[in-house]
Amino acid sequence: MANFSKSVLLRFLNWKSRHLTHQQFLMFLSAIIGFIAGLGAVAIKNLTHFIQTLLQGKFIANYHDAFYFIFPIIGLFLTWLIIKFIFRRKVGHGIPTTLHAISQRKGIMRRYQMYASLITAPITVGFGGSVGLEGPTVATGASLGSNISRIFLLNQASRTLLIGCAAAGAMSSIFKAPIAAIIFAIEVFSLDLTLVSLLPLLLASVSAILTSYFFFGSEIILPFQLKDSFIISEVPYYILLGVLASLCSIYFTKTYFSINKLFGRIQSPFYRLTLAGLGLGLLIYFIPPLYGEGYNVINNLLQENYLEALGTNFFNAYLENFWVVIVLLAGLVIFKIVASSLTFSAGGVGGIFAPVLFMGSAMGHCFALLINHLKINNPISVSNFTLVGMAGLMAGVLHAPLTAIFLIAELTHGYELFIPLMITAAISFMITSQFQPHSVYTLELAARGELLTHNKDQTVLTLMNINSVIEKNFIPIKINLTLGDLIKEGVIKSNRNIFPVVDKKGIFLGIILLDDIRPIMFDQKLYDEVKVSDIMQRPPEIIDLRTDRTKDIMKKFQDSDAWNLPVVKDKKYIGFISKSKLLTAYRKKLIEVTV
């Protein structure tokens, strides 16, 4: 069977090479991947809703709502069991996992990732995990795109483009916003905006949205009808909303990483699950709107129905008090990211896109209610500010201002809010990026020097494999040897003019240059008198594999003006890197990435 499949594939590849150009084949594949990504979105959504229907229907009709705090723990436990005993590998958090695969694995994603999120994310969210489904949907589609490109032997540049197509298809299918989906793929995955990339992205986005219409009809995840037009007198308030969105964005990112770091110190996954799961259950018990994705809360806020959005809680008797409502809405903003971080810390699988929209809508709604209550000027549109608040937080947290603007514009079926969207998103992004240069998706990758950006040079440097340019045909010399030993063990046997000096444990100590010993190497009287330690010198720079990335290595060559630099790992000598070999590898990678 395997031989038959290979034979069919070879015949198809031969036919393709004769009848289709590379660009034509890419467009064909992008449409297929968009369709598959759309199916993935449909499957994840339907499975999640099926689980939610079971839990919220007749199955538990006789139980009190207070018992719902148990469900997230059950869902997290089931997810942990599936990952531990079925997949036996880590299931990443959607988009960060995909970005890591692009930067460090040449866009190659493991096959189990095609279905891992498809199973675990609906269980996490369906049982009440306070995360979204967008990230897992993108990861599922991206893995399918990656593995399809491997089947047809496509290069890294094409593989990355098809991963972007899968991301665009997933977002297009979920939100029915094809333009925003294309911009999302370009902004988040740092794709080049050229005609070569735009056509496949467009085909994938259209293919996915048609799939969504086929299965879901005209149903939209965030239905909204614009009631109030933009008024120029509201501009100062949109500016203030942008500033508030930037503060919330900084809070979001810091809280997310702080909580994950805190629970990351717990070695046992089971203890981590128990503690974080209990914390999540208690939060949802006291603040029911934090249960699940929260799109029902967002839609109620967009309809200016904050009483339905806040749901049944301990403060129902006091909801006639305006300040109680403001505090509760602010609580949704503050605690949603805490609930999401606890879900992730416990081992849940999901994304942060929905929590960002949730927090943004609550923030904008709370802000508008407060401004109207203070009666500073004419009343402002609460629904409009709820919507624009979502864009402001997206721009700040995800560092994707264009995606935020076009997504909200497409959801409202028009561009009447385009100016306030631009104002709020731009201010939020501008302020947030000053304090946090990277998004919540890319912060960890950037810290490790593994982040791809729109800067082509930076992208090539990130993708280069440093281990492939390390030369190891240098003869190490022990520190306790004499000049005579150096001549006999090193100079005679080596065709290199540099000799690394190490101790008995292989710890790198310095170098000896052939030019330094040439004046004395023929004076045999000095063979026993001169020690290696006497003629050893420190190199101008040392490359540490643990800490130095390609960009750092390039800078060290530039600053030191050296042609060869030693490489160490844990202080032990590994080899040398030459400037010429490094530049040759750079040119090859540049051609590979841009073709």
Rounded distance between C-alpha atoms, residue 17 and residue 22, angstroms:
8
Q: Is the pLDDT higher at 238 or at 156?
A: 238
CA dihedral 199, 201, 206, 207 (to 10 degrees): 100
Q: What is the mean pLDDT of the chain?
A: 83
| CATH architecture entry for 2-216 | Orthogonal Bundle (1.10)
* 456-480: pLDDT as tens digits: 555 555 566 777 788 888 888 888 8
Statement: residue 389 has pLDDT above 90: yes
In 265-317, which residue ranges form alpha helices assigned H by DSSP? Answer: 269-286, 295-302, 306-310
Q: Which pLDDT band, with edges at 50, 70 and 90, does 157 fall under?
A: confident
Q: What is the mean pLDDT of residues 124-152?
A: 86
CA dihedral 183, 187, 193, 198 (to 10 degrees): -40
- Residue 539 contacts residue 564 (beta carbons within 8 Å): no
* 86-107: pLDDT as tens digits: 887 777 667 777 777 776 666 7
Q: Which pLDDT band, with edges at 50, 70 and 90, does 4 fall under?
A: low
Q: Is the dihedral of CA 498, 504, 508, 509 positive or negative?
A: negative
Amino acid at 369: L
Q: Which pLDDT band, with edges at 50, 70 and 90, does 239 fall under?
A: very high
- Residue 209 contacts residue 395 (beta carbons within 8 Å): no
Q: Given phi > 0 = left and psi -120 to 50 = alpha, else beta, which region is 571? A: left
330: CB partners within 8 A, 6+ apart: 362, 366
Rounded distance between C-alpha atoms, residue 71 and residue 283, angstroms:
12
Q: Which pLDDT band, with edges at 50, 70 and 90, does 447 fall under?
A: low
* 255-307: pLDDT as tens digits: 998 998 899 888 888 899 989 989 998 898 888 888 888 888 999 998 988 88
Q: Which pLDDT band, with edges at 50, 70 and 90, does 586 fall under?
A: confident
Q: What is the mean pLDDT of residues 385-392?
A: 94
Q: Is the dihedral of CA 560, 566, 570, 571 positive or negative?
A: negative
Domains in the chain: boundaries: 2-216, 232-448, 460-594
pLDDT of residue 309: 81
Phi and psi for 518 in degrees, rounded to 5? -55, -40
pLDDT of residue 595: 47
Q: Which pLDDT band, with edges at 50, 70 and 90, does 454 fall under?
A: very low
What pTM was computed for the model?
A: 0.79
* 44-89: pLDDT as tens digits: 988 998 888 887 765 554 555 556 678 888 889 999 999 888 887 7
Rounded distance between C-alpha atoms, residue 115 and residue 373, angstroms:
49
Q: Decide if 2-216 and 460-594 have a common fold.
A: no
Q: What percent of the chain shows pLDDT beyond 90?
A: 22
* 406-436: pLDDT as tens digits: 998 888 776 788 899 999 999 999 999 999 8
Kindly state which CATH superfamily the domain 460-594 is placed in.
CBS-domain (3.10.580.10)
pLDDT of residue 332: 93
- Residue 123 contacts residue 77 (beta carbons within 8 Å): no
Q: Which pLDDT band, with edges at 50, 70 and 90, does 191 fall under?
A: confident
Kindly state which CATH superfamily the domain 232-448 is placed in.
Clc chloride channel (1.10.3080.10)
pLDDT of residue 238: 95
In order, the DSSP letters of 6-63 are HHHHHHHHHHHHHH--HHHHHHHHHHHHHHHHHHHHHHHHHHHHHHHHHHHSGGGTTS
Rounded distance between C-alpha atoms, residue 242 and residue 421, angstroms:
9
